[in-house]
């Protein structure tokens, strides 16, 4: 087995490699003067079971291109099987025609990754589960929920918790967490007129006196989460905190969180933390490296991955 990583999230790849006690393969990913991506794998990979670890996070296009050229280099070096390990799959939000004459970029990106030579995909908390079907190769979608439950149990008692989905699209994810915590579920009715701006219309369920836990796949501008937190407090919630798998946190999102009504935001390390995230008093990160390490080991051994979530 070989583990190869691009530049998007080296800390996660190193943590994962440490858990598996498998060193990261020697490989260089660099840029030509005009920013073209160039890679070279400095080890023999002929016939190997290779796992390429690369989130397609900011800068999304550069990181996607790195993933593609890494896969191409491995294929041309006769790797036996190539698994694209994409902890955060960027472009996932473009999973349908949201308006006339718009692309379905999630499908396009899935096609490109497959055509580059990936034999399998391993990812986490896809924006929509059906994106697995955009890949015509085996795709395992891991869930951060067991790590979230573990963290919640360490931090506080389960009493009085109300799990809240910040929009209708996140209800399935929020319900899964509520079920594991044996807690109730509330839903925020959000309206989004354009990307990056959203408005809370209603809260479905009584939240007075509850300790609300917002759960979602992505925090990007922070608008969805901060607006939901304010609306929940205005509706009588005792406290609002959040668990979000992918901390995209674009632009001034961290400042927004720091100034928000949220008591805390917990993200995972599917996306490499920025300086601003590390310095934030409100944001904490939990690692999903152990879960990826277990999943890769199981895939390599031909064992079930779903048992990780039973």
Provide the binding-site residues for ligand R5P, judged by CB under 6 A. Answer: 93, 166-167, 169-170, 196, 198, 216-225
- 252 carries an active-site annotation: no
Instruction: Give me the residue label for tokens 């920025």.
Output: 274
Quote the least distance from Cβ 229 to ligand R5P, whole Å.
12
Provide, rounded to whole angstroms, the least separation between the CB of residue 127 and ligand R5P: 6
Residues in Cβ contact with 142 at an 8 Å cutoff, skipping those fewer than 6 apart: 122, 123, 124, 125, 288, 291, 292, 295, 305, 308, 309
Closest separation between CB of residue 286 and ligand R5P, Å?
19
Closer by beta carbon to ligand R5P, 80 or else 169: 169
Nearer of residues 71 and 174 to ligand R5P, judged by Cβ: 174
Beta strands in the chain (DSSP E): 2-5, 27-31, 37-41, 49-53, 81-86, 120-124, 139-142, 161-165, 184-194, 197-204, 211-219, 239-247, 264-268, 283-286
Q: Which is nearer to ligand R5P, 171 or 238 (CB)?
A: 171
Q: Is 94 helix (H, G, I), strand (E, B) or coil?
A: coil
Contact 120, 83 (CB under 8 A): yes
* Beta carbon nearer to ligand R5P, 96 or 158: 96
Q: Which of 97, 107, 154, 190 is catalytic?
A: 190
What minimum distance in Å lies between the beta carbon of 241 and ligand R5P? Answer: 16
DSSP 272: P
Burial of 240 per CB tally in 10 Å (0-12, 13-18, 19+) = buried
Tell me the catalytic residues: 190
């Amino acid at each position: 087995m070989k583990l190869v990583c691009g530049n998007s999230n080296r800390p996660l790849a190193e943590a994962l490699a440490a858990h598996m006690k498998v060193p990261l393969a020697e490989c260089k990913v660099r840029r030509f003067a005009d920013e073209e991506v160039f890679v070279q794998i400095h080890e023999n990979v002929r016939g190997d079971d290779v796992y390429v670890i690369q989130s397609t996070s900011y800068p999304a296009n550069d990181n996607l291109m790195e993933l593609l050229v890494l896969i191409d280099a491995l294929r041309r070096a006769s790797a036996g099987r190539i698994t694209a390990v994409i902890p955060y799959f960027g472009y996932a939000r473009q999973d349908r025609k949201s308006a006339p004459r718009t692309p379905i970029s999630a499908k396009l990106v899935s096609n490109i990754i497959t055509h580059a030579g990936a034999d399998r995909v391993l990812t986490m908390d896809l924006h929509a589960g059906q994106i697995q079907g955009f890949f015509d190769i085996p795709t395992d979608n891991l869930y951060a929920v067991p790590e979230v439950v573990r963290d919640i149990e360490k931090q506080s008692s389960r009493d009085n918790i109300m799990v809240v989905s910040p929009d209708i699209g996140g209800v399935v994810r929020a319900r899964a967490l509520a079920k594991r915590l044996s807690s109730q579920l509330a839903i925020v009715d959000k309206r989004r007129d354009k990307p990056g701006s959203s408005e809370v219309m209603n809260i479905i369920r009584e939240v007075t006196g509850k300790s609300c836990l917002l759960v979602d796949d992505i925090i990007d501008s922070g608008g969805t989460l901060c607006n939901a937190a304010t609306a929940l407090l205005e509706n009588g919630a005792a406290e609002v905190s959040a668990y979000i798998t992918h901390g995209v946190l674009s632009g001034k999102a961290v400042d927004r969180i720091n100034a928000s009504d949220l008591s805390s935001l917990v993200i995972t390390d599917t996306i490499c933390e920025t300086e601003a995230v590390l310095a934030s008093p409100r944001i904490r990160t939990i690692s999903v490296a152990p879960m990826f390490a277990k999943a890769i080991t199981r895939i390599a051994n031909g064992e079930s991955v779903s048992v990780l979530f039973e």
